[in-house]
Amino acid sequence: MSFDGALVAFGIVAAVAIVASLGVVLARSVVSAAVSLVISLMAVAGVYVLLLADFLALVQVLIYGGAVTILLLFALMLSRTGRDSGLTTRHRPIATVAGLATAIFLGWAIVATNWFALPYAQLQRVELPIIGTALFSTWALPFEVVSLVLLVALIGAAVIARTGDAP
Amino acid sequence: MIPLEAVAGLSAVLFAIGLYGVLARRNAVLILLAVEVMLNAVALNFLGFGAFRGDLTGQVVAIFVICVAAAEVGLALGILLRLHRNRQTVDIDRLDELKW
């Protein structure tokens, strides 16, 4: 078997993503959980690059790694109660069983699938103008709906979080 | 070349980890963090299948997933701040008025 650089890189990035995600759900302090989330998101952005989706990797780094993480850190800082003890519920065994069951079920579905029957295409980089054209022609209506969702969420968050009595 | 099975497997593992986090955490912000892990796994799955089929749809849907996640986080931050101001806690085990 020949040396496959992309596969090795994928293995490394996937391992980082899995370990960092475990850090998100197992960390004993809220700040290390948030930092683990950043590492996990960046590792997934690396997977996007390996799948030749450069634009999506850029979006992931800018929106997830930048904006979303900052918002989450703000939420963590502003909602501190002073004591970090007890970050997990007493339902932890149930959660473990549910997580493992999901992993086993999805893993079984992956193993049971005949992947060679699928119509494979060669991985190829999609140029940015093509994505832009698709977004504003085929996907124009969903795109506008997403814009509206963002606007409504923005106004809603501002109204909910502002000081003083709600109207 | 990266096999599609590996991408689907990574996505499945991340999704399961996120699900565990959603169920096991009691701080509402940490639940939100775990939800982000799950959403990310879903976007990765969309992109993986789209890329290996030579289809742009997967990439576009993944962009939509990221946008909706951003909206969700913004809204959740507002709700959590309100909750913290009214109740001085975001511990979901102590927010049990709706339980009988």
- What ipTM, to 2 d.p.? 0.90
- CATH number, domain with residue A3: 1.20.120.1200
In this structure, is residue A117 part of a structural domain?
no
A155: helix, strand or coil: helix
Residue A4 shares a structural domain with residue A65: yes
* Chain A residues in contact with B33 (beta carbon < 8 A): 24, 33-34, 37, 72
Q: What is the DSSP letter of A125?
A: P
A16 and A76 in a single domain? The answer is: yes
Residue B25 pairs in a beta bridge with A88
Helix (H, G, I), strand (E, B) or coil at A44: helix
Please report residues of B whose CB lies closer than 8 A to that of A86: 26, 91
> Chain B window 3-32: which residues touch A at a Cβ cutoff of 8 Å?
3-10, 12-21, 23-30, 32
**A21 interface with B at CB cutoff 8 Å:** yes
- Tell me the two tokens of residue B47: 């992109």
* Within-domain flag for A100: no
Total-model pTM: 0.90
B74-85 pLDDT per residue, tens: 898 888 888 888
Is residue A151 domain-shared with residue A75, that is, in the same domain?
no
Mean pLDDT on B28-54: 91
Q: How many domains does one find in chain A? A: 2
Does the CA dihedral B52-A43-A130-B58 come out positive or negative? Answer: positive
Contact across the interface for B20 and A34, Cβ inside 8 Å: no
- The dihedrals phi and psi of B55, each to the nearest 5 degrees, come to -115, 135
Mean pLDDT within B51-56: 85
Q: Which residues of A touch B84 (CB under 8 A)?
A: 78-79
Please say which residue of A81, A102, A118 terminates a domain. A81
Task: Show which of A21, A52, A81 is a domain's final residue.
Answer: A81
Sketch out chain B's domains with CATH numbers: 4-94 (1.10.287.3510)
Q: Which tokens in the block code for residue B53?
A: 């089929």
Choose among A2, A111, A106: nearest CA to B17: A106
Q: Give the integer Cα–Cα distance in Å for B68 and B82.
A: 21
Query: Residue B21 in contact with residue A25, Cβ under 8 Å?
Result: yes
- Asked if B87 reaches chain A (Cβ–Cβ under 8 Å), the answer is no
* Cβ-Cβ contacts under 8 Å, A107 against chain B: 9, 12
Quote the DSSP letter at residue B92. G
* Contact between A42 and A7 (Cβ < 8 Å): no
Spell out the per-residue pLDDT of chain A, length 167, in tens.
Answer: 456 888 899 999 999 999 999 999 998 888 889 899 999 999 999 999 999 888 999 999 998 888 888 888 888 888 776 555 567 777 888 999 999 999 999 999 998 888 877 777 778 888 889 889 988 999 999 999 999 999 999 999 889 888 766 55
Q: Which domain holds residue A163?
A: 127-167
Q: Which two tokens stand for residue B37?
A: 């892990």
State the pLDDT at residue A83.
Answer: 58
CB contact under 8 A, A68 and B73: yes
Residue A131 domain flag: yes
